[in-house]
Structure 1
């Protein structure tokens, strides 16, 4: 199973539409973890399986968090600003654990990472607008789950895989 995870594009409508069009048939799920700055009623969300409100999404039609059941386990989505992700993962970890999620995807910090803790995969795909982390690229993530392993690949906004950032986790 493959999941595409996007966040923090802050506008950049054409880029997101292009990514969704290019990847929709290549992945099983597409998730956006907030700060799109699009209307919650935009047709673009018809290509997405889950989307949440970011701190720069002022449209009241977005959920603060959402949960999606997949064959590989429950996915929790939150932008992260309500859960203090600038200061650590404690808040989103509690959210994931309380709701039985195996995957916790969030944004907000513009710093990409993938980490496995207590059986939960935490991923921030970075930002499609600008990075605030040590990696300079604007990024998104693809999470691939099979029987024995989870692989997380990061791509730049030109859809070039950044091999140096790929991570694998044994199940």
Structure 2
């Protein structure tokens, strides 16, 4: 099973559409962690399984937090600005555990990371608009779930895999 996770594109509609069109047949679920700056009824969301509001999304129809059951487990999706992600992922982990989620995806910081902690995969896919921190590429993530491993690959906004950022976690 594969998950595509993106966030923080800040209005780059064509970029999001290009990624969805290129990869929707290769992944099982698509998640967007907010700050799209699109209307909640934009047709772009037809192929996206879960999308939440970010601090730059003002459409009240967006959900602030969403969970989705998948065959691989429950996924928690949020933006993170209400959960202290600028300082740590502790609040996100606590919420994931409280909700029984095996995966917790967020954005907001524009800094990608993947961490497997207490049987929860915590992930920020980075930003499709402007990266902050040591990784300069504009990024999104694809998670491949195997029976005994979780593989996380980050891609730049031109759909090129960035091998130096790949990570693997034992399940």
1:85 maps to which residue? 85
Note the alpha carbon deviations across 1:3-43, whole angstroms, 9 max, x for none.
Answer: 00000000010000111111110000000000000000100
Q: What is the Cα deviation at residue 95 of structure 1?
A: 1.1
The ranges of structure 1 where at least 4 consecutive aligned residues each deviate by more than 4 angstroms after the TM superposition are none
Is 1:148 aligned to 2:152, yes or no? no
Question: What pairs with 1:1-171 in structure 2 (closer than 5 Å)?
Answer: 1-171=1-171
User: What is the distance in 2 between the residues matched to 1:114 and 1:90?
Assistant: 14
Note the alpha carbon deviations across 1:84-141, whole angstroms, 9 max, x for none.
Answer: 1001112111110110000000000000000000000000000000001211000000
User: What is the distance in 2 between the residues matched to 1:133 and 1:30?
Assistant: 25
* SS of 1:114 mapped into structure 2: strand
User: What is the distance in 2 between the residues matched to 1:90 and 1:15?
Assistant: 31
* SS of 1:116 mapped into structure 2: strand
User: What is the distance in 2 between the residues matched to 1:94 and 1:82?
Assistant: 13
Q: What is the Cα deviation at residue 60 of structure 1?
A: 0.4
Q: How big is the alpha-carbon RMSD for the aligned residues of Structure 1 and Structure 2?
A: 0.5
TM-score of the aligned structures, taking structure 2 as reference length:
0.99
User: What is the distance in 2 between the residues matched to 1:133 and 1:31?
Assistant: 23
User: What is the distance in 2 between the residues matched to 1:60 and 1:95?
Assistant: 22
Aligned residues: 171
Structure 2 unaligned blocks of 5 or more: none
* SS of 2:92 mapped into structure 1: helix
TM-score of the aligned structures, taking structure 1 as reference length:
0.99
Structure 1 unaligned blocks of 5 or more: none
User: What is the distance in 2 between the residues matched to 1:125 and 1:3?
Assistant: 11
